[in-house]
Amino acid sequence: MGEFGIGQSVKRKEDDTLLIGKGHYIDDINVAGQAHAYVLRSPHANAKVLSIETGSALAMPGVLAIYTGADVEDVGPLPCAVDAMFEFKRRNGSKRFFPTHHVLVRTHVRHVGDPVAFVIAETRTQAKDAAEAVLVDYEVLPSVTDTAAALAPGAPVIYADETDGNDAFLFTMGDAAASEAAFTAAHKTVRFKHVNQRIIAASMEPRGCIGEYDAASGRYTLHTNTQSVYRNRAICAQMLGVEENRIHVTCPEVGGSFGMKGMPYPEQPLVMLAAQRLGRAVKWYSDRSEAFLSDTQGRDLVVDAELALDSDGHFLAVRVHSVGSMGAYASNFGPMILSAGSVRMLPGVYRVPLVYAEVEVSITNKVFTDAYRGAGRPEASYVIERLVDLAAHAMKLSPVEIRRRNLIAAAQMPYSGPTGMTYDSGDFVKNLDDCLKAADWDGIEVRRAEAAKRGRLRGIGMSVYIEATAGGVPETARIEVNADGSVMAYSGSLTQGQAHATTFAQIVADKLGTDYDRITVHQGDSDILAQGGGAGGSRSGYSGGGAVLAGVEKVIDKARKIASHMLEAAEADIEFDGGTFTIAGTDRTLSLGDVAKAADDPANLPDGMAPGLKEDATYKSEASSFPNGCHIVEVEVDPDTGDIVIENYTVVDDFGHVLNPMIVHGQIHGGIVQGIGQALYEDAIYDAESGQLLTGSFMDYCMPRALNLPSIKIDMNVVPCTTNSLGLKGAGEAGTTGATGAVINAVLDALAPTGVTHIEMPATPQRVWRAIHDAKAA
């Protein structure tokens, strides 16, 4: 309703402070008397810790304490949440092998960056100096960082004391025999072997935390940047062996996360433990180099994928064998994302009768993987969209025509596919048609010829994507109308830059009629609501927003009852509009503020009604939402250097209803840029011998820059979601999901005249040049 309601591009409440550098982040928080911690990390990928000598370090100026694994044996290991949800088994049928993940190593270091000691001093510099004086005697062991090589016979077994291989578990989905039969009977099959490379999240703000302990109440406070104060509270309580009521978690502004800050890390329980032991607050803040070594990383799959077709180019079956590497430990969601997460969306937007997938997850001497924007769905989308282009080539059909023959029609919704996903809504054909037109797909030959005159190879590619956001996860909110009519909206969700303060306020403004400026959204404090969820899986809009909406509806219900009582009219005769209750057909009104003011005094209320106008609500969407759309990318390749320039980027997205188009456009931009980053630039490369991260700084880890990016043309195709109250489809990860396939398809279209048919991500200049060079030689 109105210019601040749902669907309006309301300016972000957050920006006035953030854009002038007044945002309040973890490093802006300083607690009186705080000490500083520094983590001494392993310089080796795999080694036995023979001894740790802290004596001379402890004697250094300002040093308060140094903890090693032996000093924190009372802290429980970091849990893997998905371990309880899946029955993971190894290929040989035995139980999954997930190594115990201690907050500080006890006997071995398993990746470069593994925490060895926690050094606390008066200043950060003193802690760092002391860390250098800690003498650790390592017996360096052979390491393995290559995802697939870790499973090869003869690879050093990383946890040889505990298990007999580097295979953590094997995940299978579908009917192997039925898919084998489909492949045998197929008219044609195409095959696509590739690497979905490891990605470093590289959020602008690194991780950090401050622990406090109040001896009188026995309560800990943890200030930290996270995606969920509640998950952090629960897991930290478990690790510290205390009850949840004894931990208070707060979270200020967060400078990006992308999944990486979604789970607790060793430093969080450690700062709390140190605060309790030392009787003063302890702060830890990661520097950029540490972030490269200790933040969870994303992706990391080696995939062998096949598609079977009949003689009309209809898809018969998709089959995938992949190896994913979770790194040295099983992180919170990591094993699920690599396995089920990377294959459930393999059918994409197509009618695919059969899907069979096997994912074997390896343990390697790399930092552990976990959610990274898209968390499995971009991996799946990349597989199917590349297979479809290869199939088009094999069937001598255009990429458009082969897609048309296989797209699920709008009339088939809701559509249940072979992997157990039910798409509630969507019009994939319209997405394709609209995008083809907006991108002037048919005009490519003119542009290709013009580029050729300049010595450039121009190509066009698409992906018609769909992804599954998190569904059925409860979220909480509290809506409180103050006596002056202003509104507090508390949310159990949490923002890392997505602007919940704006979009949630829009929902309140729209439904309660309250001025946008008189609505304050508050989140990131585990003491306010009993429970809450957080951000993750692109669900905040419909989960967090849905909870806000549910709270608002409860407030209106109650306020209507009070208004009916005060106005002495039947509840059914009370209308509510624009923040005012009116007896229908009269001029007798009460504002929401009047009602709120009256509600504090039980005398004004119907018998038995509790005072106040403050409602808690929990909302759970029925299912995942399925954002979908079409990306069309046009690139030019410089065949002499291998350099790629993205010339045009067009996208049509179906996000159902949209709370704030401007904010959603921002999500599309960011999502696409991260997809482009994976397609063309980003790659976490480990040295095969030493296990060192070779791309350990921005000098070698290539982030996409503004100058690499085109202006992105966006259109919306609104088909409301039917499984949540706001009709939204999560927009946060869709861009990343659609981008990689579209970019690489465009690159390979450009390279077609050179005979190149395959390129790995990232398609760096050297790789492109090498591919052209090798194709020429062949």
Partner 1 sequence: MYQFEYHKASSVEDAMKKLASADDGKILAGGMTLLPTMKQRLASPSDLIDLSGIAALKGIKVDGKTVTIGAMTTHWEVHSSKDVQKAIPALSDLAGQIGDPMVRHRGTIGGSIANSDPSADYPAAVIGLGATIKTNKRDIAADDYFKGLFETALADDELIVSVSFPIPKRAAYQKFPQPASRYAMVGVMVAETDSGIRVGVTGAGPCAFRVPAMEKALGAKFAAESVANITIPSDGLNSDIHGSAEYRAHLVGVMAKRAVAAA
Dihedral over Cα of 443, 449, 450, 454: its sign? positive
Q: How far is the CB of 702 from partner 1 (least distance, A)?
A: 4
Asked if 735 contacts 689 with a C-beta cutoff of 8 angstroms, the reply is no
CA nearest to 224, candidates 201, 200, 206: 206
Residues 108-127 that bind partner 1 (CB under 8 A): 125
> Sign of the C-alpha dihedral, residues 266, 267, 268, 270?
positive
| Minimum gap (Å) between residue 294 Cβ and partner 1 | 16
Interface with partner 1 (CB under 8 A), residue total 22
Which one of 507-515, 542-550, 697-705, 725-733 is the stretch in contact with partner 1 (CB under 8 A)? 697-705
Exactly one of 250, 690, 695, 722 binds partner 1 (CB under 8 A); that residue is 695
d(CA 158, CA 108): 10
Span near partner 1 by CB under 8 A; candidates 203-211, 352-360, 614-622, 764-772: 764-772
Dist. CA 273–CA 151, nearest whole Å? 38
Shortest distance in whole angstroms from residue 768 CB to partner 1 = 11
| Residue 519 or 750 with smaller CB distance to partner 1 | 750
Binding partner 1 (rule: CB under 8 A), the pick from 160, 698, 752, 755 is 698
Chain residues 700-759 in contact with partner 1, contact rule CB under 8 A = 700-703
Backbone phi, then psi, for 433, in 5-degree steps? -60, -45
Task: Count other Cβ atoms within 10 Å, centred on residue 34.
Answer: 18
Residue placing its CB nearer to partner 1 in the complex, 17 or 125? 125
Using CB under 8 A as the binding rule, whether residue 685 contacts partner 1 is answered as yes
Residues 539-598 that bind partner 1 (CB under 8 A): none
Q: Which is nearer to partner 1, 132 or 445 (CB)?
A: 132
Q: Cα(349)–Cα(768) distance, rounded to whole angstroms?
A: 30
Among 289, 604, 692, 725, contact with partner 1 (rule: CB under 8 A): 289
- Residue 61 or 218 with smaller CB distance to partner 1: 61
The interface region with partner 1, picked from 313-321, 592-600, 620-628, 699-707 by CB under 8 A, is 699-707
CB of 776 to partner 1, least distance (A): 12
Candidates 123, 241, 766, 776; binder of partner 1 (CB under 8 A) is 766
Q: With contact defined as beta carbons under 8 Å apart, do 720 and 439 qualify?
A: no
As a whole number of angstroms, the distance between CA 546 and CA 526 comes to 19
What is the DSSP track for 4-71?
TSTTS-PPPTTHHHHTTT----GGG---TT-EEEEEEE-SSSSEEEEEEE-HHHHTSTTEEEEEEGGG
- In total, the chain counts a number of residues equal to 778
Identify which of residues 347 and 691 has a Cβ nearer to partner 1 in the complex.
Answer: 691
* Position 640 contacts partner 1 (CB under 8 A): yes
Q: Which residues of 655-681 are buried (b: 16+ CB within 10 A; e: fewer)?
A: bbbbbbbebbbbbbbbbbbbbbbbbbb
Hey, what are 323's tokens?
């190896």
Strand order in the sheet with 315-327: 167-173, 354-363, 315-327, 301-309, 188-196
- The continuous run of DSSP H or E covering 636 comes out as strand 628-638
Instruction: Name the residue among 388, 468, 476 with its Cα closest to residue 422.
Output: 468
Nearer to partner 1, 148 or 702 (CB): 702
Query: For every residue of 239-286, which 3-state class applies, written as one string?
Result: HHCCCHHHEEEECCCCCCCCCCCCCCCCHHHHHHHHHHHHCCCEEEEC
3-state secondary structure of 522: strand
Pairing verdict, β 115-121 and 63-68:
antiparallel
The answer to the question of residue 329 lying near partner 1 (CB under 8 A) is no
Q: Nearest approach, Cβ of 644 to partner 1 (angstroms)?
A: 10
Stretch that binds partner 1, among 321-329, 419-427, 622-630, 637-645 (CB under 8 A): 637-645
Q: Smallest distance, Å, CB 125 to partner 1?
A: 8
86/769 with CB nearer partner 1: 769
- Judged by CB under 8 A, the stretch of 260-268, 426-434, 529-537, 696-704 that binds partner 1 is 696-704
Using the minimum distance from each CB to partner 1, give the nearer residue, 132 or 484.
132
Q: Which is nearer to partner 1, 534 or 704 (CB)?
A: 704
Taking the complex as a whole, the smallest distance from the CB of residue 653 to partner 1 amounts, in Å, to 29
Give yes or no for residue 699 binding partner 1 (CB under 8 A).
yes
Identify the residue whose tokens are 């927003």.
Answer: 545
Q: Which stretch binds partner 1 (CB under 8 A): 210-218, 348-356, 561-569, 635-643?
A: 635-643
CB of 767 to partner 1, least distance (A): 10
Write down the least CB distance from residue 589 to partner 1, Å: 58
Compare residues 53 and 700 and give the one whose CB is closer to partner 1.
700
Rounded Cα–Cα distance for residues 575 and 156 (Å): 73
Per-residue x/- track, 642-661, partner 1 (CB under 8 A): -x------------------
Helix (H, G, I), strand (E, B) or coil at 469: coil
Least CB distance to partner 1 at residue 700 (A): 5
Residues in touch with partner 1 (CB under 8 A):
125, 128, 132, 289, 640-641, 643, 681, 685, 694-695, 698-703, 764-766, 769-770
